[in-house]
Structure 1
């Protein structure tokens, strides 16, 4: 068992360290290496290590403390993994681990240690370090109130941008009733595809496809800071819609009058989806629509 523990520890440390290097170097495979490293550490090395430690202990209270320590270490390491990989329940896992540490481990450790004159000072100092460590960990966790305020700001920002967009769309369509060129059709198609993509993301995020206008929901859920990549994988992937949109944008760019119009970049819609948050992606869609409107109105103004 000791050999397996040592091998698993070396493997976990090596893979995890490689993942960190890959992450800071922006090389592919960083996420997989970090995940494998932390999983190996949490589910193989730490259980083996604490199992051996428990076997070495003679008193029941020491075995209990070692067992609680193992649960806390495994829980915190897994919560870090969940946080890095943007998986759900990362904060809950970390808070449960701290709950075990503060309300189960610490009282038993402090009461049993302070009674012994030989371990009294060490127990006090260790308890202070544990409390300080928990405080530092909780400092990194957003409070429910701060999350609510942040979500309100995100929603307010989106609603303002959406109202501006809808106003600009209305003005453009009013002044563009006689335009029937291929470029104008592509512009309308881009707007339609953007609206469809945005509505689908909003529907999955808030339960409402429209948050502004006559058909807006009255009590939508908030737009959260999730990773937008989740919407472009799986059975309900929006990737086909995104591919259609980007192909239309490329065709539209080829027909622009470069003297008066700016090409629309699609990088904001297709790049770094694994790091882009949902509010930022929705804002990119709105900006794409605004670019189209600006181009078309600029061309109309030159006639």
Structure 2
């Protein structure tokens, strides 16, 4: 049993270290490896090791040390998992978890060390080094170097959405034309996609919707969430693509010109994959960047309609 626990711990720690290297090198699979490694440490290694250690001693003070270690590192690893998976509460867990080994486990261990009059040995040095590793690793996860980039995206998305309101009102005044009707439908479809994505990022984001449906991008949680084609399709992206194909055909047959072709090409750069089996570029961006691209699509579609009806 003891050897099995050691093997589980070594495997999980090795996966986590490999995932860290993948993360630093921006290689694919880092998120999956981190989830597997940290998940194994949190829900397999730590509980098994804690149970085994409790049974191995009758020393109550030592049991308190084991309990302090279990609580400290469990909170840390769970916080890391929440951070990687972009679950609500990750920030609180990281803030609590980072100092916890130093204010809970370390004092307990030093007290035990002194009361039992143990000599400083290699185990104590190893524990300190491991705590430094955990502290540095969790601090790196807690620090978001892209925070200001996300804020800039939020600002640009807000500005685009604001300008689009004016163009929407102008387009509705010309809603009698087939082109304007098609654009209105696409713009509304895109807005629905944006709203669905924001809700998927965090259920609490429902509070950032204004009475008129406007999204408060500054207060939005989950700006950094990585998207996938499945998430986009669940939000209505595949339905949008079907409508967009019909709209593109309408433009080519009745409203073709250099300006509309350029705007459609710019939309297709993000909308279409580079090759079969690949995901489109819009599915590879963080949430806030995707929302910015979608707002830009609305702007381009409204400009196409405005240019054709004025």
Unmatched segments (≥5 aa) in structure 1: none
- Counterpart of 2:270 in structure 1 is 267
- Counterpart of 2:191 in structure 1 is 195
Q: Distance in 1 between matches of 2:45 and 2:130?
A: 24
1:79–1:94 contact (8 Å) kept in structure 2: yes
CA shift at 1:290, angstroms? 0.7
* Residue 251 (1) aligns with residue 260 (2): no
- Counterpart of 2:305 in structure 1 is 296
Bigger relative CO (Cα 8 Å, ≥ 6 apart): 2
Q: Distance in 1 between matches of 2:280 and 2:66?
A: 46
- Counterpart of 1:141 in structure 2 is 142
CA shift at 1:293, angstroms? 1.9
1:62-107 per-residue CA deviation (whole Å, 9 max, x = no partner) reads 3322332233223322222221122232333334434542333233
Summarize the Cα distance change of 1:55–1:208 in structure 2 as closer, same or farther, 3 Å threshold: closer
Report the aligned-residue RMSD.
Answer: 4.8
Summarize the Cα distance change of 1:187–1:17 in structure 2 as closer, same or farther, 3 Å threshold: same
1:5–1:48 contact (8 Å) kept in structure 2: yes
Summarize the Cα distance change of 1:134–1:167 in structure 2 as closer, same or farther, 3 Å threshold: same
CA shift at 1:157, angstroms? 4.8
Q: Distance in 2 between matches of 1:221 and 1:268?
A: 25
Summarize the Cα distance change of 1:42–1:273 in structure 2 as closer, same or farther, 3 Å threshold: farther
Unmatched segments (≥5 aa) in structure 2: 273-278
Normalised to the residue count of structure 2, the TM-score between the two structures is 0.67
- Counterpart of 2:97 in structure 1 is 97
Map 1:73-92 → 2, pairs under 5 A:
73-92=73-92
- Counterpart of 1:26 in structure 2 is 28
